[in-house]
Amino acid sequence: MPNLLCDHPPFQIDGNFGATAGIAELLLQSHLGVIDVLPALPAAWPDGTVTGLRARGGVTVDIGWQARAATALDLHTTTARLLTVRSTLLADTPLIDLATGTPVQGTRGDTQITFHTQEGHHYRACR
Are 35 and 22 contacting, i.e. CB atoms less than 8 angstroms apart? no
pLDDT in tens, the chain (127 residues): 555 555 666 666 666 677 888 899 999 999 988 999 999 999 999 999 999 999 999 999 999 999 999 999 999 999 999 999 999 999 999 999 999 999 999 999 999 999 999 999 999 999 9
Collapsed DSSP state (helix, strand, coil) of residue 14: helix
